[in-house]
Amino acid sequence: MITLTINKIATTVDDGTTVAAAILNAGVKGFRTSVTGESRGPVCGMGVCFECRVTIDGVGHQRSCNIIAADGMEVVTGE
């Protein structure tokens, strides 16, 4: 099991879970905020639509659908 924080809230997930799945399972629906302020979430699930972008460990614009959650990861959404 892996423990990561999403918007400072700790959540535990199975090994091999993607960050996107972890975020959705935690009940967080908005991953990023669009140019005109819309809340957006993942669509393609394979890394081409760029809607699943979140900040991980301080680095922004990371496509969470293709990143496996790791222990201690700090994820921030809504940016």
Partner 1 sequence: MNKVTTDVLIIGGGPAGMSAAIAAAKSDGAAVTVADDNPRLGGQIWRAELGKTKSSEAQELIALLDQQKITIVNNASVYAHDLDSLLAETPSGKIQIEYKKLILATGARERFLPFPGWTLPNVFGAAGLQALVKGGLDVTDKRVVVAGTGPLLLVVAEYLVSKGARVVAICEQTSNKKLDRFAVGLWRTPSKIIQGISLRGKLRRVPYYRNSWVTAAYGKSELRGVTLRHFGTSADVECDMLACGFHLVPNIELAQLLGCEIVDGYAAVDEYQQTSVANVYCAGEPTSIGGVEAAIVEGKIAGFAATGQSRQADSLLRTRNKTTAFAKALDEAFELRDELKSLATSSTVVCRCEDVQYGKLISYDDFRMAKLQTRCGMGACQGRICGSAVEFLFGWKDRSVRPPIFPVKMENL
Partner 2 sequence: MSYDVAIVGAGIVGAACAASLSASGLRVLVLDSNGIATGTTAAGMGHIVLMDDSEAQLALTGYSRKLWNQFADELPPEAEYEHCGTIWVAADEDEMSEVRRKHSLYAEHGSDSEVLDERSLRELEPNLREGLAGGLLVKDDSVVYQLCATTFLLDLAVRYGATIQTGSKVAKISDNGVIFRNGDVISAGVIVNAAGHAAAELSPELNIVKRKGHLAITERYPKFVSHQLIELGYLKSAHGSDRDSVAFNVQPRSTGQILLGSSRQFGIDDSGIDFDILERMTSRAFEYMPDLKMLSTVRVWTGFRPATPDNLPYIGKIDGSEKIYAACGHEGLGITTSLGTAELLTSAILGKKSPIPIEPYLPSRTITEH
* CB closer to partner 1 out of 9 and 44: 44
22: tokens are 């972890």
Query: Alpha carbon 10 to chain centroid distance?
Result: 13
Residue 9 contacts which entry, partner 2, partner 1, none (Cβ below 5-8 A, type-dependent): none
As measured in angstroms, the least distance from the Cβ of 22 to partner 2 is 22
Q: What distances in angstroms separate CA 25 from CA 16, 35, 36, 37, 59, one per listed residue?
A: 14, 25, 26, 23, 22
Instruction: Give the single-character DSSP code of 43.
Output: S
Choose which of 3, 12, 43, 74 interacts with partner 1 (CB under 8 A).
43
- The residues that bridge with 32 in the sheet, in sequence order, are 40
Choose which of 5, 7, 55, 66 interacts with partner 1 (CB under 8 A).
66
* Residue ranges binding partner 1 (CB under 8 A): 13-18, 20-22, 24-25, 29-31, 34-36, 38-51, 53, 61, 65-68
